Each structure stands twice: as C-alpha cells, then as structure tokens.
Structure 1
Amino acid sequence: MDTHNRSAVEVFALQSFSEEPGLRRLFLVLFLLLFLGALAGNTLIVTAISLYPGLHTPMYFFLTNLAVLDIVCTSTVLPKLLENLAVKGGTISYQGCLTQLFFLTWFLGAELLLLTVMAYDRYVAICRPLHYSSWMGRPVCALLAGSVWAVSAISTSVHTALMTRLTFCGPNQIQHFLCEVPTLLRLSCSPTTLNNVMIVVADVYFGVVNFLLTMASYCCVIASILRMRSASGKQRAFSTCSSHLLVVTLYYSTVICTYILPGSGSSLENGKVVAVLYTVVSPTLNPLIYSLRNKDVKVALRQVFFGVQ
C-alpha cells in the first residue's frame, strides 16, 4: 500500500528557534558558520588522512569514517534548518520528513557504533600491542566499518518502516526543528506501541550496550596506562586516547539526554539546544579536537596542504 495515502497530513510545520526577526538572522548566520565549519573541518581531516601515508592505520581509518558521518549528519539537518530560519513558517513534506528521519537515525546510530569500535581499537593497541597487527588488520577493519554502517542502516529501516504504518491526521506542528522518531510519534493518531518497543530496544543496544562496551574498553586502557613505568610511555598512550575519550563524552552526553532520558523534565527549547549539540556543534568540534590534540594529524595537515614537515 502506498504510504503516502495512509497519512492525512501531507506537510509538517517545523518550529524555529525564534520568531523575532533579529534573532532569526543571528541564528541564521551562526548555524551557517557552524555548517561551513563542520564541512570544511571534516573534509580536511578526510583529505589529510587519505593523502598522508603516515596516517594509513586502523585508528585513522576509523577517524575517516567518523568525519564522513559528521559531514552527512550535518548535511541532513542544517540545510532545512537554515531554510526555515531564512523563510518564516518553515515546512517539510511527509516524504521529506521520513527521509530526514531515516538518514538522521542511520548516521546517529552508526556514530555510536563507530565510537565503540574506535574504543576497541585503542584497547587492542594499548592492552594487546603484540596482537594489534593481526587483530586489527585491513580485512578486520573493513569488516568492522562495514558492520557499523550496515547494522545502523538495518535499524533505521525498521524504525522508518514502522513509522510508515502510522496515520497522521493532525495536528501537523512538529515541536522541533527536525524530524525524529519521538517527535513524530507524538503526532500520530494510531497506536504506537510497537514503535515504542523498538525504540526501547534500539536505545538499549545503541545507547546502553555500546556505552558500557566503550567504558569497559577505556577502563582497561586506563588501567594499562597506569601500570606503565615510563612517564613518556604513559604520555604517548594517553595522547592517543584523550581525543577520542573527549569526543565520546561530548557525544554520549547529548544523545543520552535526547533518547535515553526523554522524560527527564527538560523543556522543548532545551531539547532543541541538545539536538543542536549533537547534530551541529559536535561535528564542528570533532575535527578541532582531533587536529589540535594530535601531533600526527597536525603534521599531515601541514604536509598535505602546505608542503612542510
């Protein structure tokens, strides 16, 4: 059956950050700068890692995947947000809303899985260094990266398919600036029990399980670093993990507030701010975190773009 015919709502109205013209212009400039910064920063990271042979290692292979995810995530959300800030009374079609939901859920889930894989990579490198070349060879890295994209794609396909079974008969005002599963479920006039069950399952797997695996990996890593006798060895080991641990902390803190604790009492405006953090601010900061705190990346950037060591 055509999913379009199942829904009486053909267009959804999206909320903006402000109805005051001056603030709208301010937000428009701010988000445009963040969007351009995210695109430029992550593109530089991908280019430097691809062209600099010294970074052709598993850790930077996964970092390339993270940069690509950040690029496509911001590109899924920001263009529509900028349009709604530029034109008062922004709307999105039913098909466009489901499309945005599909890709946003896909990329967010993939990023959570990828952060777990990156934590495992650091665990093997520091806690099992003699096995690193065999445990993290190219076929293994390709399999892990492919699984990250595939598993998240399967999950978002299930959520989107379940969403197409629902009927939206009004109102059509989404209390957000983007289309997400929780916000759309509030507008449905048909039973959403199965959708809610699948949300819990996805939250437990993508959020709780991967968070625990990531924390377990870093507990082992930190314990191994503390057992090192050499101060320089400790510093080198910690420097390879600190950037990723900072990204993990930033990303999980925002996603958990949005998906794991949706009833924590936060206002709708706070929900918008949190969504901006993980869809806009985090992708913009990630390249800065990895480049400013990583000597290898800084060397690669200078070599690739300026021709100096």
Structure 2
Amino acid sequence: MGTPILLGNHNDCKIDKGRYVETDVSGYKAVIYVPSGIDNEQIQKALDYAYSTLCQSCYMEFILADCFLFISKEIFDKKKVFKFNLKRHFTDCQKSIHDTMKLYERHMDEDYYNEYSTYLWDLIKDKVEKLRKMIEDKLRNLKCKYNPYLCSYVIMIQNLVQQINDTHKHVMEITEREYGVDIASSYENHRAKTAFTQADNCLYDIMHDEDEKFRDNIVKDKKVIAVWSDITRTLYDPINAKKARFSAFYSMPEETQALYNLREEDGFCELKDGAKRFKKGA
C-alpha cells in the first residue's frame, strides 16, 4: 500500500536517535519521524494495517454518509432550498467524499467494500431516520426559528461526516500504539478534509445564527446519545461485521472467489499464494 524511504537520522535527541522516513501512499509523499528500534519492515506493517483498517471503517463510513447525502439532496430539492450557498457547499462536500473514496479504491476492490458497507447501511438506515426525527422533534420543542425538519438533515450530515474524521484519528492512534510509529501524515489525504468544512457550512446555511445555539441540547441529550451509540455499536458489532464480510465475499463472481481463502470463523478472506489481485477484507 505504502513505501517507506529512509531520509536521514535524527541526532537532536540523545535519548532516542530515530530517523526521518519518507512514505509514499497512493502517490502522496509524507515525511514521518521513526523512533529508534523501528525498522522499515515495521513501518510497512503499520502502513498496511492502517490502510486495511481504514477500508473497513472510514471507507465504510464514507459510503454511509454518501447514502444519507443522497437522501438529503432529494429533500432539499423537494423543499426548494437546494440553491445558492447550500447547493455549492453540499456539492463540494459530496465531491470531496467521492474523490477520497476514489483514492481508497486505487488499491482495493471497491465492489467488495461497497457490498460490505451497503449491508451495514441496511442495518442502520432505520435507526438513522429515527435519530433524525428525534433531532427534528427536539428542535421543534426548543422553538428553533428555522425549519426543524431541514435543520435535522444538516445536523445529521454534519455528524455523519465528522464521525469519519473521528474514526480516522482513532485508527491512526491505534496504529501508532500497535506499531510504535506515527504515520498519520502518510494518510492525511484519506481524510476528505474539504468534506468536514463544507458539512459545517451546510449546517450554517440552514441554521444560520442558531447553528451552535442548540448544539449542547442535542449532543448532550441522553436519548440522542443512546440512539447514536446504538448506530455505532451496530456498525462495529463483530457479528454484523462477519455477516457483512460473508455478504461481500459471496457477491463476488465465482472466479474471483476462487482466488481467496475464506475464513469461516470471522469472514475474512486472504489472497491465495500466487494469486494476483487486490487483497479483500484484509
């Protein structure tokens, strides 16, 4: 997935004489600091682990966010508000998500991960709507002066997109803890930074001066937290993930399935020796 290239030693610290290494991930170069005792093989393992984990978490969450964006656009069109700033910010948000997904797809079988993600979306879509309606009702009770129905959609967009950023950060933290090297900068281009900014802008386009007024009333509401937590648990429940992997594997053509060994215990599939194809479910 990525390639580490030695640049030089770091001699400023007498305790830990590490070195700087240039990584190349999908054509994007970054310089990372590597503590002493970490060799290039360890860096490569960290890069591979991070990418595999990002595919099963952030890429999946990108697809979920995109599904909700698709639904939201239909609502905005129907309500005749999809114009001017909202249209521009929404379109830029969606484009950033799509462009970042294409970056992931350079080294993956997107059909596999799309099926994996779609399976999970089907499990949570009713819960997402339940949460949206809960937020709408909450805003209505708080006498929000803007349309609570539309506000609930942009709040959900903002939270679904921000969740991806939080997940990305979490994956980088786990990778550093497991492999002893911080490679966050190597995967900075896998974050869809523009999407996060534009999701915030969409929120402002609809809620204006009330975009922060009711924030605590929503994000700290126990019922809202409970539903959001239920959505997260559903996505990352090991049993659901296993079922999603099986669904993704058996959705592939039989000739593609034949290239992999499927682990019945968890649904992971590994490329057979000598087979040349993207590694799925790594």
TM-score by length of 2: 0.29
Greater RCO (CA < 8 Å, at least 6 residues apart): 1
Structure with greater strand share of residues: 2
TM-score by length of 1: 0.27
Structure with greater helix share of residues: 1
